[in-house]
């Protein structure tokens, strides 16, 4: 069977892309090395936040199929690689999954195929790593097959922007490669933005998240000294946001998490050090500041308890929301984990509640799950709002709590202590 596209990696990036392609009438094959994931999808069951079981069932009914058989890649006109790129031990991207996926494509590569990498990585990966592996097939990029990079821009839980209406950046190995990739995405994505080449497209993604990383670090640093100076930073941000130009609001919090902000800027920093021999100081400082926030929140929690004449050692601390962002189940790089460790290190007894998480484990820390939210809030010595899920009526909960520490600045009035 010939497919219009095979998508390698059926996670939070690959599945929404597959869904949009299916909606546009393309024949879509999904490839993943996990038999569990493949079997679940073929049975109409989702494993990502943004797609429901009904969404997957509709895709299957429209012809979508998942497989673990790499030989089926051979029949696809386009292959899109959407596999994870976590940090390696040296701070650079771990390309094992990318290289494995590329080799699977290379073993089945045919003349005329368009190959697109979406996995976030350092500038030069498409040309220096992906292209040579593909050319081991005997085919030549830009001559026998098309090669491009198009950074994923998925924002899990975002109800306004998804794969269809988020502009797609595309940079090819040659101008013709750019056009072939752009033509492919234009079938089901509203806006395609052509970059000069693969390196420019790779760097664009890193710039987007480095910009956010640095600005979050700025307000996190301000949160610390504003607290010491008795300044309400949340009111400062509200006032500054009234300026209709030259300002974008960023907000402090207990730390950064997820698949992008704590990870992507490090790719750029690692690449600068490795290739140019000097540090990307903005990124490394931002990383240092953001990484200290869980410990800072734990110290603030200790001070709140001390001010109430309550020792942190033996205190019952309830953490509300343990995912990395609101209204999703994704726990990757969540600051809740280092925060729980820091609190436990001070002797606190940790419990948690999260409407999206059934089981939460923190290595080395005993964590109790609270089923009755209001009872748990009322009984805890300190409640810390870590992630503000929409299911939480934060002002009501703050009123029920003995002490309520709001790290997200969402409570009103004086019933809570804000970061």
Instruction: Enumerate the active-site residues.
Output: 260
SS3 352: strand
Helix 264-276 crosses helix 281-291 at what angle (to 10 degrees)? Answer: 140
Cβ contacts of 275 within 8 Å, gap of 6 or more: none
In angstroms, how far is CA 106 from the centroid of its own chain?
A: 28
**Do residues 163 and 20 lie in contact, with contact meaning Cβ atoms separated by under 8 Å?**
yes
Starting at the edge strand found earlier in the chain, the sheet holding 367-369 runs: 367-369, 349-353, 316-320, 382-385, 404-406, 417-418
Rounded Cα distance between 71 and 75, Å, is 8
Token pair of 86, please? 């976590």
Q: Greatest CA span in the chain, whole angstroms?
A: 74
Starting at the edge strand found earlier in the chain, the sheet holding 114-117 runs: 65-67, 28-31, 3-8, 76-81, 114-117, 146-149, 168-172, 192-194
**Do residues 334 and 367 lie in contact, with contact meaning Cβ atoms separated by under 8 Å?**
no
**Do residues 238 and 322 lie in contact, with contact meaning Cβ atoms separated by under 8 Å?**
no
Token pair of 74, please? 């051979």
């Amino acid at each position: 069977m010939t497919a219009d596209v095979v998508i390698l990696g059926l996670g939070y990036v690959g599945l929404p892309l597959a869904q949009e392609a299916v909606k546009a009438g393309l024949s879509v094959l999904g490839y993943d090395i996990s038999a569990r994931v493949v079997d679940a999808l073929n049975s109409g069951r989702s494993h990502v936040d943004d797609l429901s079981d009904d969404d997957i069932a509709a895709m299957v009914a429209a012809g979508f199929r998942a497989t673990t058989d790499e030989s089926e890649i051979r029949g696809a006109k386009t292959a899109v690689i959407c596999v994870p790129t976590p940090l390696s031990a040296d701070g650079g991207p771990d390309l094992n999954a990318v290289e494995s996926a590329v080799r699977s494509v290379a073993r089945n590569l045919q003349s005329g195929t368009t190959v697109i990498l979406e996995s976030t990585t350092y500038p030069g990966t498409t040309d220096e790593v992906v292209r040579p592996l593909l050319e081991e097939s005997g085919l030549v990029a830009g001559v026998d097959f098309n090669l491009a990079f198009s950074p994923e821009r998925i924002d899990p839980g975002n109800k306004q922007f998804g794969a269809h209406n988020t502009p797609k950046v595309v940079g090819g190995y040659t101008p013709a490669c750019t056009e072939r990739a752009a033509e492919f995405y234009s079938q089901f994505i509203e806006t395609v933005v052509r970059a000069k080449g693969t390196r420019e497209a790779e760097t664009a993604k890193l710039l987007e998240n480095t910009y956010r990383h640095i600005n979050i670090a700025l307000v996190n640093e301000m949160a610390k000294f504003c607290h010491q100076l008795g300044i309400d930073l949340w009111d400062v941000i509200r006032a500054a946001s009234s300026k209709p130009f030259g300002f974008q609001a960023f907000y402090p919090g207990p730390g950064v998490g997820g698949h992008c902000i704590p990870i992507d800027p490090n790719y750029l920093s690692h690449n600068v050090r490795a290739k140019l021999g000097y540090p990307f100081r903005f990124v490394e400082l931002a990383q240092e500041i953001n990484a200290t926030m869980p410990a800072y929140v734990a110290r603030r929690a200790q001070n709140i308890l001390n001010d109430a004449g309550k020792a942190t050692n033996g205190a019952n601390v309830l953490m509300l929301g343990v995912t990395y962002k609101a209204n999703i189940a994704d726990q990757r790089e969540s600051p809740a984990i280092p925060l729980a460790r820091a609190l436990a290190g001070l002797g606190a007894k940790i419990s948690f509640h999260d409407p999206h998480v059934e089981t939460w484990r923190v290595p080395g820390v005993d964590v109790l799950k609270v089923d009755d939210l209001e009872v748990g809030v009322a009984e805890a010595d300190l409640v810390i709002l870590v992630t503000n899920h929409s299911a939480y009526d934060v002002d009501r909960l703050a009123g029920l709590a003995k002490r309520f520490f709001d790290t997200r600045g969402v409570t009103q009035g004086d019933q809570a202590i804000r970061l």
